[in-house]
Structure 1
Amino acid sequence: MPAKRHAASTTSASTASTPATLSSGPATLKTNASAAEIAQHVWQQYLATTSQRTMLLDAFMAFLVLVGGLQFLYCVLAGNYPFNAFLSGFCAAVGQFVLTASLRMQTSDKSGPVVSKPSSKGKNARFVDDDDEEQVSGYSHERAFADYIFGSLILHFFCINFIN
């Protein structure tokens, strides 16, 4: 009997890992997946579908959260005697996070679900290509980065002046 149990446990373990290794398309989760499986699936999808530029922005945003958290923790534990300095540093971290999130939204790939356009009828109907529509509705990456640099300079100028 123990040999059968061992054989059954090895076959169930091998079939459980088979869907993860055979991936002809995007991996799907079971309806009763654990929180760890969901987190691992989200992380793998993030690594597989996110561009390196967006990952770099995400890493910088995580660094800004860490810096803001450390400043707040220091303020709670050690006191906030130069309160202007704490506010300036904390506002610089939060403001830079907001500016970076804006840059990420403007430069990330817009590969969301495809939405069909409403059809228009009549002799004055105007048809727009997908490329023209993206060009009208969004900025170029260079323009978004220039806005990011300009906003960062203004933010840090005010933060430095706030220290006094």
Structure 2
Amino acid sequence: MAKTSGSDARALIHSLYSAYGATPTNLKIIDLYVIFAILTAAVQVIYMGIVGTFPFNSFLSGVLSCVGTAVLAVCLRIQVNKENKEFKDLAPERAFADFVLCNLVLHLVIMNFLG
């Protein structure tokens, strides 16, 4: 097996960075939103590990809310991406309206789960 050198890793990171530089701004904003939602879920899991699991329904509701929102945002990103030929006839406004409606339903279910 050949060893990978540090220059190969730097070349890979540079190519990924330059390819992501061509991404439209609206997709980058959605990416930041997804990262924020996942980090919020991670903070909740770490907090639960430190403090304890007493109101377990609250913990589950918070984590599922963050993960569900991240999944819906990824779906929004797929639909809004201009390079995706599958959703070329779908208007970005319609995709955002679907995202908002699905988030509303998700959070109504989450609030119902809290009791």
Q: CA 1:83–1:111 in structure 2 vs 1: closer, same or farther (change >3 Å)?
A: closer
In structure 1, the partner of 2:14 is 40
Equivalent position to 1:75, from 48, 57, 76: 48
Q: How does 1:10-159 map to 2 (within 5 A)?
A: 33-47=7-21, 49-110=22-83, 134-135=88-89, 139-159=90-110
The more displaced of 33-42 and 65-74 is 33-42
Q: Which has the higher helix share?
A: 2
Choose 1 or 2 for highest CA Rg: 1
Following the alignment from structure 2 to structure 1, what is the Cα–Cα distance between the partners of residues 11 and 44?
33
How many residues were matched structurally? 109
* Aligned structure 1 segments of 4 or more residues deviating by more than 3 angstroms: none
TM value normalised by structure 1? 0.62
State the Cα RMSD in Å.
Answer: 1.8
In structure 1, the partner of 2:111 is 160
How far 1:98 sits from its partner (Å)? 0.5
- Structure 1: segments with no counterpart, 5+ residues: 1-31, 113-132
Following the alignment from structure 1 to structure 2, what is the Cα–Cα distance between the partners of residues 34 and 55?
26
TM value normalised by structure 2? 0.87
- Structure 2: segments with no counterpart, 5+ residues: none
